[in-house]
Structure 1
């Protein structure tokens, strides 16, 4: 099924709750868990989402004060983890924003369903005009270090383990299963792929099946052709549906400490709004063009705006109608003639400090 067909299927499943729909974006209004449960299995390439933090107890963020005990919040989040695991493709990645106080417990809870691969610290090196707490708060009365950072937990399918049966990645297990069904030996497949190793005759194929690394697009094409030519296996998954992307270079933020500035305050700003440059950094690195990006706590639609600017499809689910209206306005403002025209200017941390045009729409 193509990305376009997958997106159409998603829109059909959400048809009763859609508040905005275009050829590349859809916003559903309502309870996010119910809408998530309606999505097709294996239909999402990337989840980027910012649920209530619970520990911050902000009355202006829906759901932030709903749970009396931490365990209740964690149980609620696990319901989402189960569904995210179901809808995410084998090549999918989950980015979960959370407060520093809850990060460790969320990471442990989610490890039942996913393999944790990063624990990113977002330091928010804001300048004057972004946050006024520095000059107002009574620092002498603090009982802990002020949490001027947030966490972004990153997960993929799979687990960590000791025994071979448990340490394979889903991609490695898939390649192993398909080769065994095909009847080809590891050595034969290595010859077809031309991926010989320096140590063992299985070459790179042994590493691919063990999940230690992944083939290039060209190598996988040769493997796919060889396995399918036996007539013993069904058509193999496309490269984009099997292997998780992570496209970073020395020219962008590539460590697990990020210094993107927060969104400068403006009229009708969402209280938990995330900066466009950080969202675009995530989406560009962890999805392929045309992929479907999901945000189950869409807020004012920032993730969807970033996805459209990068030529991705997006699905947002939001409970509060005021933010659905904001998302609809921002998405409409981004369409100015061509399919993926970008009338708003991309700015990067420590380079440009002016707010985005979309951030000023409601001034």
Structure 2
């Protein structure tokens, strides 16, 4: 047990878990559809804690925080009756259906579709106008290309660029129809290389504009330079006068904040303690809300922020 009063307020495990479930209800209420939940817990109650979280959230990982140093080095090994806990657990979760809900609630699919139609409008109109001018049916197009792709080449919502082979088949069909109508224009007269060049430029524009909608998804970004598996190795915070018993190392907090939030976004630490999370949020240009019920700890934390 920790030395502070907070961690010793529950008479038994059942009472603690009942309290934790009430807390999870509030976490469920305040967590945004695109938000992430990280809950630290000891190894002894990690299974029970994960089950509680799973009842209300989608658990993404049960992360093992392996500490390379700790109290076990000072323990009397012959007296042990089980393996000494050298890890802490971090349950990483999101809302059930978060990805679909976040996109749906914010109109992600609709916005991306509208954006695509707007950006690729010059190419879309080139195909649509050629077909309209020569009055070529979908059946004729599909038969000429041995495909069912007419709706993808000649409509706005599903538009895509034909392959080289398909485009030549379309050109042949449109040229024949133009000859039948004694027309020298109105067909697919441009070379595909010209269209492809235009398409690639528009695609870059589309992808760049589409990034503005990425905030609708749950942020998550790791590289080979940071822990990207579910086992993390960080040394615990070494003792110093006034150290909070549950203080987390700055490097670990940086990893969590950078992985699951973007600059300017809001991070909540509902058990602020020494305020380590808040300090790292300020350093990394995130907004921060911290909650701390122990008055003495809160006053010390505020001093640390000033």
TM-score bucket (shorter structure)? 0.5 to 0.7
Instruction: Name the structure 1 match of 2:223.
Output: 249
Alignment of 1:282-301 (within 5 A): 282-301=256-275
Count of residue correspondences? 227
2:73 paired with 1:134 = yes
**Residue 72 of structure 2 contacts residue 86 of structure 2 at CA under 8 Å; is this kept in 1?**
no
Structure 2: which 5+ residue stretches go unaligned? 115-150, 162-204
Secondary structure of the structure 2 residue equivalent to 1:97? strand
**Residue 220 of structure 1 contacts residue 239 of structure 1 at CA under 8 Å; is this kept in 2?**
no
Alignment of 1:1-363 (within 5 A): 57-58=1-2, 60-126=3-69, 131-135=70-74, 137-158=75-96, 169-171=100-102, 173-174=104-105, 179=110, 189-191=157-159, 239-240=214-215, 242-332=216-306
Alpha carbons of structure 1 residues 102 and 176: separation in structure 2 relative to 1, 3 Å: same
Secondary structure of the structure 1 residue equivalent to 2:223? coil
**Residue 103 of structure 2 contacts residue 217 of structure 2 at CA under 8 Å; is this kept in 1?**
no
Shift of 1:155: 0.5
**Residue 279 of structure 1 contacts residue 306 of structure 1 at CA under 8 Å; is this kept in 2?**
yes
TM-score norm. by structure 1 comes to 0.55
**Residue 72 of structure 2 contacts residue 84 of structure 2 at CA under 8 Å; is this kept in 1?**
no
Secondary structure of the structure 2 residue equivalent to 1:95? strand
Instruction: Name the structure 2 match of 1:25.
Output: none
**Residue 123 of structure 1 contacts residue 260 of structure 1 at CA under 8 Å; is this kept in 2?**
yes
In structure 2, how many angstroms separate the alpha carbons of the residues matched to 1:74 and 1:190?
A: 51
Secondary structure of the structure 2 residue equivalent to 1:305? helix
Shift of 1:321: 2.0
TM-score norm. by structure 2 comes to 0.65
Across the aligned residues of Structure 1 and Structure 2, the Cα RMSD in angstroms comes to 3.3
Alpha carbons of structure 1 residues 267 and 190: separation in structure 2 relative to 1, 3 Å: farther
Structure showing greater relative contact order (alpha-carbon pairs closer than 8 Å, 6 or more residues apart)? 1
Shift of 1:65: 2.1
Alpha carbons of structure 1 residues 220 and 74: separation in structure 2 relative to 1, 3 Å: farther
